[in-house]
Amino acid sequence: MRAALRIAPLLLLLQAGGVARGAPVARAAKAAAPGGDGPRSAVATSGVSEARLGQPFTVTVEVKHAPGEHWSLAPTQKLDPFVLIGQTREDVPAGKLVTTRFGLKLALFKLGPQAIPDIALAGGPGQALSLPGPTVKGIAPDIVKDRKRRDIRGPVAVTVRSYRLLWIGLAGLAALSLLVAAAGWWRRRPRRGEAAPAPPPVPADEAALAALAALEGEGLPAKGRFKEFHLRLSLALRAYLSARYGILALDMTSTELQAELARLPTEGLRLADVAWLCAQGDLAKFAKAEPTPDDCKEALSRCRQIVIRTRVAAAPEAAA
């Protein structure tokens, strides 16, 4: 039997907490399919009613069900204008029932009251649940608390008395570049009677793993260069996905990339890992958030696992 349950929202007041002021908001519903099939109740709770742009907060989803059922979040969940940063899950026995608790770590990037899109849950065969999400108001950053975060400054005038030294330096650099290029061409010029063999192309997985190893060796998170780290990590991942699945990943937004991968046969690829990496990169690049070195280490590990799990197996060599 296929059971599709739409949840009617109820507002609950919980204890205050989170990244911004305001009482937590919950939307809940109880439902039971004929014959005891389906969850006994479900509730989605936001830890805050207001959140500053880019600041993470947590939404808790609790589902009470029979011990034999298994409920999970739908992998293609769309949360715009919210961004999913991370999630947790735990199963807690509660008498004759089991409470499955999901923790969704979100960030909002739009001002004003924003309702979290319906949270889709999937159970066993033929079981589905759509839970209305709570409403969170996006507010602007606090200028006093965030005064250490400086905005982009305008150009600064520099007085130059004469450009003679500049032109001499440029001419010297141009001459040096020509000499280096000529020396390189002379060393690589083809010899008579022999054809220079073309180097074999580097497989996409090997190139991606080499780029990740080089990035890890530079230790950028330890130096506080989080934005540069995520830019290079995103470039390595998108270059690999472009070569592996024949898509233009380098020209896509995070949302477009996830949607494109969701419609392709991507055996071994976990879309949740791609969504998490995109969210981490967007926070570091656009929201001026500063992830911890452990978050960067986790991002590097997830990116490396994506390449390893989806790499194309080498064809066996033909017997002589």
One domain for residues 28 and 106: yes
Cis upstream peptide for 81 (omega within 30°): yes
Q: Alpha-carbon distance 117 to 110, whole Å? A: 14
Question: Does residue 180 fall inside a structural domain?
Answer: no
One domain for residues 17 and 125: yes
Q: Alpha-carbon distance 35 to 93, whole Å? A: 22
Q: Do residues 49 and 68 lie in contact, with contact meaning Cβ atoms separated by under 8 Å?
A: no
pLDDT score of 319 more than 50: no
Domain of 69: which CATH number? 2.60.40.10
Q: What is the pLDDT of residue 239?
A: 92
| Four-residue CA torsion sign, 76, 82, 86, 90 | negative
One domain for residues 128 and 214: no
pLDDT score of 12 more than 50: no
Q: Mean pLDDT over residues 285-312, rounded? A: 85
Question: Does residue 169 fall inside a structural domain?
Answer: no
Token pair in block for residue 157: 């005038």
pLDDT tens-digit profile of 89-110?
898 888 889 898 999 899 988 8
pLDDT tens-digit profile of 166-210?
888 999 999 999 999 999 888 887 766 566 677 788 888 888 889
- Which residue among 91, 123, 139 closes a domain? 139
One domain for residues 122 and 237: no
| Cα 126 to Cα 1, 71, 263, distances in angstroms | 6, 12, 21
Give the chain's domain count.
Answer: 2
Range of the domain at 302: 204-310
One domain for residues 120 and 12: yes
- Which residue among 109, 139, 169 closes a domain? 139
Question: Does residue 168 fall inside a structural domain?
Answer: no
- Which residue among 139, 171, 186 closes a domain? 139
One domain for residues 7 and 133: yes
Q: Higher confidence at residue 286 or residue 59? A: 59
Question: Does residue 40 fall inside a structural domain?
Answer: yes
One domain for residues 208 and 124: no
